[in-house]
Amino acid sequence: MHHVIAPFTARALRAVLYAVVSFPLALLGCVGTLLGLLVGGLLSITTLGLWLIALTERGALSFGALQRFLARVLLGVRLDEPVRRSEPGAFGWRRAILADRTGWRAVAGVLLGPLTALPALLTVLGCYVYGLLFLLHPVLKYVNYGTERRPDGTVEHVALRWFGVNLDPWPLWLVPVVVGAALLLVAPWLLARVLWPQQFVLRKAFGSSDVDSRIRTLERTRAAAVEDAAATLRRIERDLHDGTQARLVGLGMHLTMIRELVTAGADRDEVLTVVDTARGNATQAVADLRDLVRGIHPPVLDQGLDVALASLAADAALPVEVTTSLATRPAPALESIAYFCAAELLANVVKHAHATRVGIDVSTDAGVLRLTVHDDGRGGAVLGAGSGLTGLAARASTVDGTLTCESPAGGPTVVVVVLPLG
Amino acid sequence: MRVVIAEDSAILRDGLAQLLAMRGVEVAAAVDNATDLLAAVAAHTPDAAVVDVRLPPDHTDEGIRAAIELRRVHPGLGVLIFSQYVETRHAARLLAGDASGIGYLLKERVMDIGEFVDALERVAAGGTALDPRVVSQLFGASRRGKALDTLTPREREVLALMAEGRTNQSIAATLVVSERAVEKHVANIFVKLGLHQTGADHRRVLAVLRYFEAGTG
C-alpha cells in the first residue's frame, strides 16, 4: 500500500511541482542573464556596459535567492545564504559585485540552470504524464482515439498502437496498464535521483562556499565561547558577591558587635553567642570559596581526567561507575570541558532522571575524546532552548566538538560528548 | 533616629539591624526587596533608609531605582546606599537631582559602627555621606572635567572631603591644617567653579554636584 501511494504523497508531489516550475524559471533566468551579459559586453566600451553587467550579476544573485527559497519550500533542502562583499557608494556597489566570486558563481549557476533542470522535467513528463496515460488507457481509449479507414471501407478506432499492434482490445490493454503502473511507481525514486545533480549545482552556485560555511561556523562557535566565558565570569562574580564577600562583611559586623558588647561590659554568654555566629560565618566563607575554586578549575583535574572523574563520582549522590581508557592525555582545555560536561550531566541525572545508577565512560580513540554519560532513569531529556544540554553543546562546539542526546521517554538516557583531540 | 533597611543577604540584614540597635538606632523594618522597602517607608515614615544596590529579582540596580523613587515620594527622607562596589554611574544617577540627604557607603564601613552611625545621622539630617572610594573614583573619572582642572591638588583634596559630607572642622583635622586654611580653600573652590554667594551650605552641595557632573560627563 505504501508503495502504491508513494508517487502521490505530498512530498512527491512537491518534488513534481519543483521540477515543473524550475525548468521554465531556469530558462527565463538563463535567457535574461545571457541577454544582460551580451548587451553589457557590447556596451562595455562605454561605462553603461559595466553597470549592465553588474546589474545582471545582481539579478543572478536574486535568482539564486529564489532558487534557495524554492528548494527549501518544495524539497526541504536548506542552503546557506552566500556571504557577499559590500562596499559603500554606488561605484563601490558595482566594484564589489564585479569583483565578488559569489556573483559569478551565481551567473554560472543561472546559465547552467536549464541544462540541470531538464532531466527533472523529462522525468515528470515521462513517468507521471505517460504513466498516468497508460494506466488509464482502458478508460481513455473510449475518449481519445484516432480514426483509421481501411481499404475495405470499414472504419476502426485506434487509441494505442505499439510496433504495429493495436493494444485496445482485451487482454492486450493490460500491457499499457502494467507499463503505466511501473512508470508511476518508479517516478518518485527516479525524480529524486535526477534532482540530485541539480541540487549539487544549486549548492555550488547559489549556496555558501565551504570556506564561507566554515567561517560562519567559527564565528558562531567563537561567539559561543565568548558568551560562555562571560557567563562563567558573571557566575563567579555573583557567587563571590553573594557568598564569600557577604560572609566576610558579616564576619566584620560580628567582630564589631563583639567589640561593642565587650566595651559595654556585656554578659559572657551574650558575647559567646555572637562569637559562635562569627565563627560559623568564617567556616562557611571558607567552604564557599572551596566550592567556587572547584567550579573554576578543580585542583584534582591537574592529576588527570580519570582521577578527577573518579573523585566526581565519589562525591555524587548516586552510585556512579567510571570507566576510562585514555591512551594519551588530552589538552588541559579538553580535559576541562569534558570534566565540566560530566559534572553537569551527572548533576542533571541526580536532579531530574530518577535514576538508580549512572555510568561515565571516557576514552580516546581515532583522534577524539569521547565522553559518555548514561543512566537508567526515566529519560525525556531534550536538547533545546532553555535546556542545560544546549549550553554544554555550545561549550563543546567551541573546540569543534559535538554533544548528542538519546533519551526516549521512559529512559534510558545516553549523552555522548565527542571532542576532537586536534 | 528611626531607619528602614533593605538588604537581601540575611546575614548582613540581621547583622546591620543588630549593630544599629546596639547604637540606639531604631530599626523600624528590615526587608529584602524593593517593593517591601517602599511599603515599609510609607508605613513607618523613618528618618533614613539604608538600601542595598542589588536587590531581587535581577540583582542589578533595583536598590538605586527604589532610592530614586523613595526620594520622589518622600522628599525629606535620607537615603544611604549600602553597596559592595563603587558604581560611579549609580552614585551619579542618584545625585543628579539634589545631593542633600544622600549617602553612598561601601558595606565594610559598617565595621566602624561609630562612623557609620554618624554618616547615617548626617544623611537623615539632609547632609551627604560619600565613601572615600566613591569620591576617589569620581575623581579619577573627572580628570576630563574642565573647571575641576583649574583646582590645585590641595583644593581637590578639600573638595573630595566636602563630597564625603565633611564639615570644615573635620576637613581641617583630616588634612592637619587650620580651619582658616580650609575656609580659604573652600572659597577658592567656589570661585573657580563659578559658584557665587547664596549661602555657604547650598554652594557646598553645588560644588559637590559639579564634581559629579564632571565625573559622569
* CATH code of the domain containing B29: 3.40.50.2300
CA atoms of A289 and A263, how far apart (whole Å): 33
CA atoms of A341 and A389, how far apart (whole Å): 9
CA atoms of A401 and A417, how far apart (whole Å): 7
Query: Which amino acid is present at A409?
Result: A
For chain B, say whether A276 makes contact (Cβ under 8 Å). Answer: no
Nearest by CB: A253 against B23, B84, B111: B111
Counting residues of chain B whose pLDDT is more than 70, the rounded percentage is: 83
CA atoms of A371 and A373, how far apart (whole Å): 7
Are A372 and A412 spatial neighbours (Cβ–Cβ below 8 Å)?
no
Q: What is the ipTM of this complex?
A: 0.71
- pLDDT value at position A384? 73
The larger pLDDT score, comparing residue A5 to residue B147, is at A5
Is the domain of B121 the same as that of B143? no
Average pLDDT over residues B163-171: 83
pLDDT at B139 over 90: no
The dihedral sign for the CA sequence A333, A338, A344, A346: negative
Look at residue A104 and give its three-state secondary structure.
helix
The band of B201, judged by pLDDT with boundaries at 50, 70 and 90, is low
Q: Do B110 and A255 touch (CB under 8 A)?
A: no
Domains identified in chain B, total number: 2
Burial of A370 (0-12, 13-18, 19+ CB in 10 A): middle
Is the domain of B16 the same as that of B71? yes
- pLDDT value at position A416? 95
- pLDDT value at position A9? 85
**pLDDT 10s digits, A54-89:** 899 999 999 989 989 998 988 888 888 887 777 888
* CATH code of the domain containing B158: 1.10.10.10
Is the domain of B69 the same as that of B126? yes
Residue finishing a domain among B85, B106, B130: B130
Counting residues of chain A whose pLDDT is more than 90, the rounded percentage is: 32
- pLDDT value at position A47? 81
Closest residue by Cα to residue A229 from A150, A127, A340, A323: A340
Is the domain of B11 the same as that of B114? yes
Q: Determine the topology of domain A300-420 in CATH.
A: Heat Shock Protein 90 (3.30.565)
**All three cell numbers of B215:** 565625573
Which DSSP string do the residues of B158-213 spell out, in sequence order? HHHHHHTT--HHHHHHHHTS-HHHHHHHHHHHHHHTT--SS-HHHHHHHHHHHHHH
Is the domain of B92 the same as that of B154? no
**Arithmetic mean of pLDDT over chain B:** 84
- pLDDT value at position B198? 54
Give contacts of A283 with chain B, Cβ < 8 Å: none
CA atoms of B68 and B98, how far apart (whole Å): 11
Are B83 and B52 spatial neighbours (Cβ–Cβ below 8 Å)?
yes
Element spanning A277, H or E: helix A268-296
Give me the helices (H) in A124-173, please. 130-135, 137-140
Sheet with A402-406: list strands edge to edge.
Answer: A320-325, A358-365, A368-375, A413-420, A402-406
Nearest by CB: A249 against B18, B23, B108: B108
Chain A residue at shortest CA distance from B110 = A253
Q: Which of A256, A259, A274 to mutate to test the interface with B (most CBs of B within 10 A)?
A: A256
**How far A99 CA lies from chain B's nearest CA (Å)?**
46
Residue finishing a domain among B107, B130, B153: B130
- pLDDT value at position A155? 78
- pLDDT value at position B77? 93
Closest residue by Cα to residue B85 from A24, A245, A91: A245
pLDDT at B161 over 90: no
**How far B11 CA lies from chain A's nearest CA (Å)?**
6
Q: What is the DSSP letter of A260?
A: H
Is the domain of B121 the same as that of B161? no
Is the domain of B24 the same as that of B6? yes
Give contacts of B18 with chain A, Cβ < 8 Å: 253, 257
Is the domain of B121 the same as that of B140? no
**All three cell numbers of A112:** 547552467
Give contacts of B54 with chain A, Cβ < 8 Å: 241
Is the domain of B17 the same as that of B113? yes
**All three cell numbers of A300:** 584534582
Q: Which domain holds residue B66?
A: 2-130
The larger pLDDT score, comparing residue A154 to residue B23, is at B23
pLDDT at B216 over 50: no
- pLDDT value at position B144? 46
Which DSSP string do the residues of A304-326 spell out, in sequence order? -HHHHHHHHHHHSSS-EEEEEE-
Is the domain of B117 the same as that of B141? no
Cβ-proximal residues to B31 (8 Å cutoff; 6+ apart), any chain: B4, B5, B6, B37, B40
Are A415 and A396 spatial neighbours (Cβ–Cβ below 8 Å)?
no
pLDDT at B140 over 90: no
Is the domain of B120 the same as that of B155? no
Cβ-proximal residues to B198 (8 Å cutoff; 6+ apart), any chain: none
Residues 216-255 of A with CB under 8 A from B: 238, 241-242, 245-247, 249-250, 252-255
Average pLDDT over residues B92-108: 80
Residue finishing a domain among B70, B99, B130: B130
Give me the helices (H) in chain B, please. 10-22, 34-44, 62-73, 88-95, 113-124, 132-141, 146-149, 153-163, 168-175, 179-192, 200-216
Average pLDDT over residues B129-136: 80
Query: For B161, left (φ over 0), alpha (ψ -120 to 50), or beta?
Result: alpha
Q: Do B16 and A253 touch (CB under 8 A)?
A: yes
Chain B residues within 8 Å of chain A (Cβ atoms) = 9, 11-12, 15-16, 18-19, 22-23, 54, 59, 84, 107-108, 110-113
The pair phi, psi for residue A287, each rounded to 5°, is: -65, -45
Q: Do B12 and A246 touch (CB under 8 A)?
A: yes
Closest residue by Cα to residue B52 from B40, B65, B43: B65
Is the domain of B38 the same as that of B124? yes
pLDDT-flagged residues of chain A (< 70): 1-3, 385-386
The band of B141, judged by pLDDT with boundaries at 50, 70 and 90, is low
C-alpha atoms less than 13 angstroms from C-alpha of A226 in its C-beta half-sphere: 6
Q: Do B22 and A260 touch (CB under 8 A)?
A: yes
The larger pLDDT score, comparing residue B139 to residue B54, is at B54
- pLDDT value at position B217? 38
Nearest by CB: B9 against A238, A246, A261: A246
Q: What is the DSSP letter of A222?
A: H
Nearest by CB: A256 against B12, B19, B107: B19
Chain B residue at shortest CA distance from A257 = B19
